[in-house]
Amino acid sequence: MDTSNLIGHKVGIKTDNLNEALSGVIVGVDSVGVWIGKGDAVAKVIAGVQGVPEGFAEPAVFLPYSRISWMLTETKEAVYQKSR
């Protein structure tokens, strides 16, 4: 799955281990998942992890595709018009 075109885009993601959707920005992609930062995703994913150091300027979390139930991105109207 090629998601490199989503880097820098705000997304909503539902994972199989959390009851609610997460929001964040895709800051990187890998062949097996995506790196999410700059949203509530980071805080919610690491909330139960002990010993996470404080003060990270740009924290991010890795979400493997196998754990993602669904992912939403914002579509710009100009892009939609071109595809009609």
Q: Within 10 Å of residue 22's Cβ, how many Cβ atoms? A: 22
pLDDT at residue 80, as a whole number: 58
Is the pTM for the entire model greater than 0.85?
Answer: no
Copy the structure tokens of residue 21: 């959707």
- Residues 33-76 have pLDDT tens digits of 998 887 776 666 666 555 555 665 567 888 899 989 998 887 66
Check pLDDT > 80 for residue 78.
no
Own/partner long-range contacts of 31-34 (Cβ < 8 Å, ≥24 apart) = 32/64, 32/65, 32/66, 33/62, 33/63, 33/64, 33/65, 33/66, 33/67, 33/68, 34/3, 34/6, 34/62, 34/63, 34/65, 34/68
Check pLDDT > 60 for residue 5.
yes
Q: Does domain 4-83 have CATH number 1.10.3210.10?
A: no
Closest CA to 30 of 61, 57, 9: 61
pLDDT band per the 50, 70, 90 thresholds, residue 79:
low
